[in-house]
Structures are given as structure tokens and as C-alpha cells.
Structure 1
């Protein structure tokens, strides 16, 4: 029931994998055998699949009638148990809330128009997921499904282990990776935020003299601390220290900024779009019952955020991981709405230019061109080999919400294993 899911991983799912994810075709192979049962709870029919080999369970509702109402289109919502006390939500719903409506309407540009989609609330504690969360950072979250870059890298590692026969499991054919307004490298993006603050498309958030002082503080305090944080996996005090040092610098300059929505600087702090009415809808008891939810919906979870901050996750660089994914030959799209200040496009553009792969030199030197939809410029882009970059005009953090038609065109092109191209 997630209203939008701007980042994506495209996979060719075999029947045996579908058996694990949705409890279907469960007798297709002994390694995927399990028990399937049906229960009615409070008038709602639940299907439960228990996997013999791992003990994992899936508990889902089919065609709840919530959000997806297109005839002939199936929808599943429910829970996948990834541990004794860890329950991740699997859900699917191509809808949107228009004009602050209290109920959703079908989105004609939903990615479900082109592909079967699975949306996952993870780590534990986000969305409808619940249980004892053991995740402290991006890397530790990858086995349970989280950040697309690390998730893709983890898939490829597991596929290699299967190929080498050191792991007995089913390969997942990863086709493409897309990341919308992501955070890749703190050294690059902390600095580029200052540039965005002065030179973004819409209006200066701070003046040049304040920006100069900001850069000086970043260089003296934040940058050295970030340089000392050079691991994505170890619980090192250097990374937590970097998180604190950079937060201190950022906070010391926050008073100079005007009131604006950081996810869309064109809007005031109390942003009307995307509307927050969806939170109330998802916590409606009738909706919770229909989709099989076992806890209320959590849009932002401090309980999840705190361990990530203590681990210093945001201070670590995931560029080497992203580079490895690109080097593997997977089609990769890095895109960003140009009005987002949380993970601004200046930092995204600088990060994608720093990705190392066979086309690096050509990519970093290549000029951007207009990306058009029906002949109308909707952004600027460049592609070399299997790597594409796209800056989307007039879009905040959630590109599919602000520019749904553009997002669908980009999604289709990427899933076809092609570089994005104007139309």
C-alpha cells in the first residue's frame, strides 16, 4: 500500500522464487516444499505458507479491494517472517491521493501498468513491519531487503556463491537498479549541498558569504572526520564521530535557511504535496483489517533511525558498492528531482560521475542533454553503457509523485535493459 516507491530493483522471478515470496506453486521442487493453509480471521481470508527448509512463513491476503481495484489485476498484502520475531511487510498498491482526498484513486501512471511490483516495508519498524529489529545500518539490512544499492550488491554476491556451489539456493536474475534521490557518498554530498543551497534552479537558500563560511567549516571539521570513516560494515567510533561532526556543522548553519520543505524547496515547511492524508487512511481500522496489517503504519520511525545514526551509516561511502553493481553489467539509473534538498541533485550528479566502471572517463566528461517526453523537456540526462543519469525538472524527492508520467517512461526504458532516451 505504499503510495509511491521511487527506487526500484528489477528481477526476473522464477516460479520457485515466487513460491517463497507469495506462497504459490509450493510443490515445484523439494528445496521449496512447505505447508500451505488458509485461515479466516475477523472475516478476512489469510493464506499462510511455511517453508520447510528455513522455517520462514508468509501470511498474506489476496485482493483486499484496497487501492488496487482494476478488474483482472491481483493484489497481495501481508507479512514475510525473516526471523522468529521479525516480520517484513509485502504489499502492492498502485494508487495516489489527489487534492488532499481522504481516500485513494487509481494512478494511471503506476509502475504496475508495466510490471508486477512488490513493495517492502523494511527495516523492521518502518511502514507496517514489526518485531525485534537487529538492523543497525545499510549493510546489515541488505539480507532482509533495504537500500537498493546494497540490496543489488548482496543479490550479486549470493548469485556468485550459488554459481561457485558454496551456497545451495535459487539465483535471482537481477535486471536493473534505479535509485531516486539517493545518498551515496557523504564526502561528496555534504559539500554539494552547500553548492545546491546557492545555485539550485529555484532560489538561493543562503547567500554566498554564508556559503563560504559553511564550506570553511565543512573543510575544517566535517571532511576530516568523514575521511576517517572508511568502512561500510565495521562499528567504528570514527563513523559515529563523523556523523556527529557533520551534523554539528549543518546545524550551526540551519538558522540561516528560510522556512521550506526540504523534500521540495518550492513549498513551505508545511508542504501540501504529496498529501499526508494517506497516513490517516492507512491507519483506518477497516483498511488495516482488509490488508491483514498487524500494527499501525509508521511513516517515520525514530526507533529505526537511531541505530543507523549511532552506526554512522550516513557518513559511509557506498560508491564502491555501487561501482561494483555497475561493473557487473546490470542496467543502472541514478535519478533525482531537482527541487529536493534532502538528497539534492548536485550531490547525486557528482556521485554518479565518481562511479568507477569501464565507461567512467567517457561518462564523467559527457555533457547532459534534454530528456523529453513527447518532445517536451522534462529533465537533463546522459548515458554511457549500462549507466544512466537523469535530473528531473519540477520534482521534489518523490519523482513518481511529482512527475508520474516521466517516471513511468523512465521505468519502462530501464526495465528493457536500455539506456534512457528522450521521446
Structure 2
């Protein structure tokens, strides 16, 4: 999910990431037992990273013969990043590897695991999960990562202050994962993400491509990027708040007079602040843009009526999906079983506050997204059409201006029905390696609302082709 309340904080300069120096000269493996739980320990000679994980906890994935690993990767001194890996239910020895990231910034990828596309899910008021027959690990080996430090089960020192400074830690985790589990090297690799993933996805993917080009570490064979309800570019998406609030297909939130008022606020206040952020790139200018646009657009619009910003159809006090999984993850029995060493925080304030100090939210990642598409990565921009906070109007406008050879042809195309087994579930268009999909009757967390469609789209994208109706 995406937080939309900017936080005032002292201005600091963007800095590079200093990764820990290697502490061992070769890979080491060992077993450690604590309180009756056996941890596998792997020390990576190349990077000095240390992975400590539990093998086959029996939590969440209960399909016979499907392996899972959960634990921590040390990406620096007192920097412990949580990961949870699930083997593919079918053909795990050849299936692609996919990393899932939730957004925030500061929100846990356990949201995606338990509420959206993981091997298990909660229904109603249940206190224990049940099997998810539309899990993404039906097709791919899935790696869920809590980043930056302080998010979810990750704990320790958090040096990340921006999307750009987050990328090297993610790359390092994948490198150490490959070293610990070499059977997944050279597989097709994909990144799927949502919400603030409109920042994370383009930057992480571009960073991986740059590292590949520099022959740094093990090559990551990245072939696909999928972002649903993403936050990419403030100039485009702040205006979309006004347009969607007035003209969405569910219920108008504002009158025509209010629409004109907010559009004027965008043009006269928000847009100039964003332009200054873009042109100067300074933390102070981007903080000012964040605060100005929130105070003029996002904040007031979010309270003009009683609605859930993540699903416009629901009242603000009755949001979906259910939060049962949070209590479940904080039970001592579950934490012990999976090897978690901290209290679970779904969306932690501290990491998000650090992003606010650099004005990260209004910074555009459209250029990075364009670079990814230009690199021939199969790219899917999709969105549930009931989401307000990262609404499909803005996502569609972003998709139409992605700079790549097929841009003119893509922008000229109209949306056509997208079907799943003959049933229309949205509208879409494709050109070359770029696809856009609007998903009907879905809020911010698309796979929760339309699981069958989401799995179909996921598989089609990982097959490195345009999405298509079935």
C-alpha cells in the first residue's frame, strides 16, 4: 500500500549506500539450534552476507512436497532483512524465480503473501489460514522480501532514505540467495510489486540491469516487471486524483464545481512545486512538493466523503482485506516456527519517515520505467479500478507516455476487453513488450479481489509475452 500523509522532517542530503565489507573468504554452511528450532546458516564469501533460515516450517504452505525457507539475510552491520521463500508447486526445478515487494514506503511484503498472492490466505474472521488455490507459487518460485530494515520482520539499523538507496540492498539479498540456493541461478527472474512499487519496481529492475552490464556478482536473468496500482510520477498522478474523484465508474466523490476548484489547485500550487522538485532535485524542493500536493489535493480529497482510499466502494471504517494475519504472525508459536526474531510491523513509520526526509514520494520514476521497457523487459502496468490512492486513471496515463520504440503505437490503441475463460474481467492493450490492464471490481490489492485473473496475468507476463484473453 501507499501512505499519503507527508511528514515534515529536517532536510538531509541523499547519500550512497555503504555495504558491509566481506567477513569471510569463502562460503560457509552450518546448523544452529535455538530453543528447539534448527536454523540453517550460510555465510557468503563474496559479499560477507549471512543468511539464517528455517527449513520447511509447515506454516502457510501445506502442499505436500513443496519446500519453503524463512529467515534473515544480514545485508550489513546489524541489518537483518527478512525473507520468506516458497518453492513452485509445479515444476520447481525449472520454474522462474520471482521477488514480491509491497510498498509504503515502509510496508511489509507479508501483506502480499497473506492477503494477496501467497500459498495461504485468511477468510472472514478466521484465525488460521487456509490454502490459496490461486497462489502465485502455482507457477513460480516466490521470494517475499521485507525491505528496508524495520519493515515487517526485518530489524536492526536502517540506512535507507530513498528508493535509490534501497536498491543495492535488494540486489545484495538476491546475490546471497543465489549463493545459498545455487539451483535458482540462471532462472528467468521477475519482480512483481504494487503501490510504492511504482518507485521500487523501475529502480530495482534498472539497478539489476546496470549491475549485470557491469558484470557485478552473479547475473540476474531478469525478464519481467509487473506493477499493480503503482505510484510512478506525481505530475501525472496528482492530477489523476482530481479526475478519478469526479469521474470514476463507481461513485462521484466531488461535484463539478469542486472538480474545477481542485484542478485549479493542482495547476496553480501542486504542479509548480512538482516541477521545481523535478528541475532542482533537492530534498527541500521535493519535500515542499510532497507537502503542497498533499495539503492542496490528496488530504482534502481523501476526506470529502466516507470511503476507503484503497477501495472506493467500501466505507473508511470497513476496509478490505481482513487483518487477521497480523495477529497470526505475532503469535509466539508462529514466530518460533518460521524463525522470526522481531515483532511484526505491517507498515512501520520509521522507514517511511526517512523517505520523507529526501522527498522521495514526488520524485518521478518514469525515466527508470522507460529504461526498463527499452531494455526489452516484459512489463505489465495494471490496476484495480476501485482503488483511489493509486488509481487506474493515473496508471493508464503513465503507461501511455512510457518512452520506448512502441510508444506511439501503444498510446494510439484503445482498450479492449480482457477475459478469463470467456468472462470479461477488465480492459487492456499491448504493444511489443508493454501491456496495460484495468481490472474490474478490484481495489488496491488486485489479487485479493480477482485472484483467478491475477494468476493468469502473472503467468502470461512471466512467459515473456503480451497478456491475452482466454
Asked if TM exceeds 0.5, the reply is yes
Q: In the alignment, what sits opposite 2:371?
A: 324
Task: Provide the rounded CA distance (Å) in 1 between the counterparts of 2:459 and 2:300.
Answer: 41
Quote the Cα distance in structure 2 between the aligned partners of 1:184 and 1:191: 13
Alpha carbons 1:331, 1:386 under 8 Å: kept: yes
- Matches of 2:315 and 2:79, distance apart in 1: 38
The match for 2:264 is 216
Report deviation, 1:44. 1.1
Q: Which residue, out of 299, 310, 313, partners 1:266? A: 313
Q: State the 1:32 CA deviation.
A: 9.3
Cα contact 2:286–2:359 (8 A) shared by 1: yes
- Alignment partner, residue 58 of structure 2: 65
Tell me what 1:89 maps to. Answer: 82
2:157 maps to 132
- Three-state SS of the structure 2 residue aligned to 1:179 is strand
Query: What is the deviation of 1:241?
Result: 1.1
SS at match of 1:223: helix
User: 1:77 matched to which residue of 2?
Assistant: 70
Partners of 2:310 and 2:443 within 8 A in 1: yes
Q: Indicate whether 1:103 and 2:128 are aligned.
A: yes
Q: How far does the alpha carbon of each residue in 1:152-194 deviate from its partner, in whole angstroms, 9 at most, with x for none?
A: 01000001111xxxx4x21110010000110110000000111
Residue of structure 1 equivalent to 2:250: 202
**Residue 173 (str. 1) matches residue 166 (str. 2):** no
Aligned CA-pair RMSD? 1.7
Q: Tell me the equivalent position of 1:389.
A: 436
Shift of 1:211: 1.3
- Give the SS at the match of 1:229: helix
Q: Name the structure 2 match of 1:23.
A: none
Task: State the partner residue of 2:113.
Answer: none
Shift in CA distance, 306/408, structure 1 to aligned 2, threshold 3 Å: same
Tell me whether 1:148 sits opposite 2:201 in the alignment: yes
1:254 Cα offset (Å): 3.6
Q: How does 1:180-199 map to 2 (within 5 A)?
A: 180-199=228-247
Match of 2:145 among 112, 120, 129: 120
Which region of structure 1 is more displaced relative to structure 2, 78-87 or 305-314?
305-314
Match for residue 450 of structure 2 among 390, 397, 403: 403
Kindly state the Cα deviation for residue 137 of structure 1 after the two structures are TM-superposed.
Answer: 1.1
How far apart are residue 231 of structure 1 and its match?
Answer: 6.8
Q: SS state of the match for residue 206, structure 1?
A: coil
The 3-state SS of whatever aligns with 1:155 is: helix
Q: 1:233-253 CA distances to partner (integer Å, 9 max, x unpaired)?
A: x55311111111111112663
SS of 1:371 mapped into structure 2 = strand
Q: Provide the rounded CA distance (Å) in 2 between the counterparts of 1:108 and 1:83.
A: 37
Alignment-derived partner of residue 7 in structure 1: none
Contact 1:214 1:253 in 2 (8 A): no
More displaced 10-residue stretch of structure 1: 411-420 or 205-214: 205-214
Listed as ranges, the gaps of 5+ residues in structure 2 are 2-23, 86-117, 171-196
What is the alpha-carbon distance in structure 2 between the residues aligned to residue 75 and residue 215 of structure 1?
50
Taking the aligned partners of 1:347 and 1:142, their CA distance within structure 2 comes to 25
Cα offset, 1:207, TM superposition: 1.3
Residues 1:341 and 2:394 are matched in the alignment: no
1:277–1:383 Cα change, 3 Å: same
Distance (Å, rounded) in 2 between the aligned partners of 1:257 and 1:56: 49
**Contact 1:231 1:316 (C-alpha < 8 Å) held by counterparts:** no
Q: Point out where structure 1 has 5 or more consecutive residues left out of the alignment.
A: 5-30
2:405 to 325, 336, 358: 358
- For residue 350 of structure 2, what is the aligned residue in structure 1? 303
Q: Alpha carbons of 1:231 and 1:413: their partners in 2 closer, same or farther (altered >3 Å)?
A: farther
